[in-house]
Amino acid sequence: MTACAEIAGYSENPYGGGQELMDEFYAGYNFVSFPGGNTGTQMGGWWRKEINSVADLKGVKMRIGGLGGAVFSELGVIPQQIAAGDIYLALEKGTIDAAEWIGPYDDEKLGFYKVAKNYYGPGWWEPGTCLQFFVNKKEWDKLPKEYQAAFKVAAAEANVTMLAEYDHKNPIALAKLLQQGVKLRTFPKEILEGSFKAAQQIFADESAKNPSFKKLYDSYTKYGKTQRAWFSVAEVPLDNFMQSHRG
C-alpha cells in the first residue's frame, strides 16, 4: 500500500522528498521507479454476511493479501490468496466468506454482486493504490536525457489520467450495482479503530527490525501530519458540508 499523494514527487519537484527516498531504496536493487497510475481509495470488499463488530470477523475467510491481510488477521480474519478468475466461484460456493478486489468499476465486471450483496467501504488498506514503472538503473542511465524526460512526462500523464478515469467510472458502476440490489455498507467504527491499532503495531514492529522501512515510514508519517493539518482547514470542512447537501 502506497499513498502516492503524500510520499511521491519527482526528483525535479521534491514535494516532501518521498521520491528521493524511494530512489535511494530502489538503488540497492538496481532500478528506478516512477508513479504511473492510481485507483484512488479502494473498496473494502464483498461480504456474504453483514458484519457489525470485531467479533463478527473471527474465522471469516477473506480473499485479501498484503498489508490488509496482515492487519485483518490480527482481528481474527483468515486471509486467502486467490487469483482474480477464481474469486467468484469461491464466493459462490462459500469456500470464502468475503473478497476484496478494487472498486465498483472493476468489481462489477467480475460479477461479485451476484453472490455477495454486502459491499463494504472504505478499503482502508488501499487509500490510494499507486502503480509504478520500474526501469533497470544501468539501462536507464544509458538513455539520452531527452528520452528520460519523455519517459517521466509519460509516466506522470499516466498517473494523473488513470486516477481521473477511475473517478469518472466508479460512480457510474456503483449506481449500476445499487440497481442490482447491492447493499452499500460502511465498516463499523469498532472495526476501523481495531484495524488502525493493529496496523500501527505492525508498522512499529517492522520499523524496529527494518531500518529501510523505518526511514521511509518516519518520513511518510511526518509529512502526512503536515498535509492533514492543511486539509483540515479547507478540504475536509468543504467536503463534509457538500456531502451533507448531495442530491
Query: Domain range holding 54?
Result: 4-244
> Is 90 exceeded by the pLDDT of residue 3?
no
Strands 45-47 and 98-99: antiparallel
CB 198 within 8 A of CB 73: no
> Mind listing the pLDDT tens digit for each residue in 171-223?
999 999 999 999 999 999 999 999 999 999 999 999 999 999 999 999 999 99
Rounded to an integer, the average pLDDT of 43-65 is 97
CATH number of the domain residue 238 falls in: 3.40.190.170
**Count of residues in the chain:** 247
User: Pick from 104, 106, 102, 116: which is nearest to 46 by CA?
Assistant: 116
Beta strands in 157-221 (DSSP E): 183-186
Residue keyed to cell 491481510:
69
> Mind listing the pLDDT tens digit for each residue in 116-140?
999 999 999 999 999 999 999 999 9
Position 15 scores a pLDDT of 84
CA-based end-to-end distance of the chain: 33
Whole-model pTM?
0.90
Burial 80-115 (b: 16+ CB within 10 A, else e): bebeeeebbebbeeeebbbbbbbbbbbbbebebbeb
User: Pick from 14, 18, 12, 13: which is nearest to 132 by CA?
Assistant: 18
Beta strands in 143-234 (DSSP E): 183-186
- Total structural domains within the chain: 1
The three three-digit cell numbers of residue 168, written as one number: 469518472
